[in-house]
Amino acid sequence: MSKKISILIVDDEDSVRDSLFNWFMEDGYQVECAEDAKTALSKLESDNYDIILADIKMPGMDGLEMLRRIKLLKDDSIVIVMTAFATVDTAVQALKDGAFDYITKPFDPDDLSHLIRNATRQISLTKENETLKEKVVTLQNVEDIIGKSEAMQNVLSEVESVAQSNSSVIITGESGTGKELIAKAIHSNSPRKYFPLISVHCGALTESLLESELFGHEKGAFTGAMYNRKGRFEMADNGTIFLDEIATVSKKMQVELLRVLETKTFMRVGGNKEIRSDFRVICATNRNLKLMVEEGTFREDLFYRLNVVNIHVPPLRERHGDIPLLVEYFIKKYCTSMNKPAIPIHRSVLKRLEEFDFPGNIRELENMIERAIVIGNGKKITLKDLPLEKNIKITSVESLDELEKKHISNILLKYDWNISRTAKALQVDRVTLYNKIKKYNLKSTNK
């Protein structure tokens, strides 16, 4: 470790303090001393020490009482007790009260050095674990959600607000908007972040398979059940369970889900032992659950149990300003995975992307960029690499001339302003195409 380990020596005997002080200083530690427990506690209020070496028998407050108070001040403190009265009862009591270890007087220098090295190793492991935990949080934090638009900033604000609570959340939004990513962001910013986030895609499973997936099963519960299997609710203990496509769950499973959410207990399929699990539930759907309740296809009591907080993820057509950021991200992602250098995209093509509705949302945009990188020439992404011409965003205020101008411009860009190929695609001759280019003052920007 780069930082010196600090040691506080607490002993009422001058000779013990002096010898230990010199001993540890020679070994390269940072050392301070206190002649009694009261002085030591006063020092601990203003300074932190990695290791506290304290005598058990001192006038006034003894070492065991000081140990208890230190643990109240700082539970993770490493305290080693020293005693000349090496009874089993004293040692056991010290360990019960939170001591790291104990050593008897007179000291064996090798034993004491070994003990301090063990304590130092424990400090290193604790700090490494804290660093790893911070890295895990960083990997799944809200910063991973790409979007600077006002719509997405509102979503992120809601994520941060709800993350610290234990309330159930329903995330709504069209298919491909990134609802699962929002669920991950909620979990990774919650007190449950060091425990698992367990995902279940309800729409992909039949009723019987979903029941087994959620609750687990016992060996022999059904044909093919060759061993006991934990369910997703059991695996999510102390963490979060994410139920995607919750609207597809059958009426029978809705009843089962309601009971589990209310009691936090369940039994495996084929089992008779009640299992308890402490989990938070987050759901996602692209359907209108409130309408389904009115139609009688979704239980009202389950809906209100789940819908404590609702977060709506906007479709891509309502956050066009985020498209350049998403395109940049996907280009980097797929170029890296294919061992290709980053491929530029012309600003005119990027502008064209911002004019499209993307019914498949982010998933569709990602698919387009991946396809462009696979089939493109590797020099730049052009319109011919992107299947966009059939997906133009048309408004009722546009005239026929404006529509024709846009369509001709799209096809010219698609074929890199190759007049012959563009004319053929438009099913007009070259002269007609030249006249249209002149009429609409179209100019090539694909340079």
pLDDT (0 to 100) of residue 130? 65
CATH number of 316-388: 1.10.8.60
pLDDT (0 to 100) of residue 31? 93
pLDDT (0 to 100) of residue 85? 63
d(CA 10, CA 230): 51
Q: Which residues in the chain come in under a pLDDT of 70?
A: 1-3, 85-88, 129-144, 389-399, 445-447
pTM of the predicted model as reported, rounded to 2 decimal places = 0.57
CATH number of 394-447: 1.10.10.60
Q: Domain spans of the chain? A: 6-135, 142-314, 316-388, 394-447
pLDDT (0 to 100) of residue 88? 59
pLDDT (0 to 100) of residue 135? 45
6-135 under CATH 3.40.50.2300, yes or no: yes
pLDDT digits (tens, 9 = 90+) for 277-332: 999 999 999 999 999 999 999 999 999 999 999 999 999 988 988 999 999 989 99
Confirm if 31 and 43 have CB atoms less than 8 A apart.
Answer: no
CATH class of 142-314: alpha beta
Query: Which residues pair with residue 258 across a beta bridge?
Result: none
Confirm if 383 and 410 have CB atoms less than 8 A apart.
Answer: yes
CA 384, 385, 391, 394 dihedral sign is negative
Furthest C-alpha separation in the chain: 108
d(CA 260, CA 281): 11
Whether 394-447 and 142-314 are alike in CATH topology: the answer is no
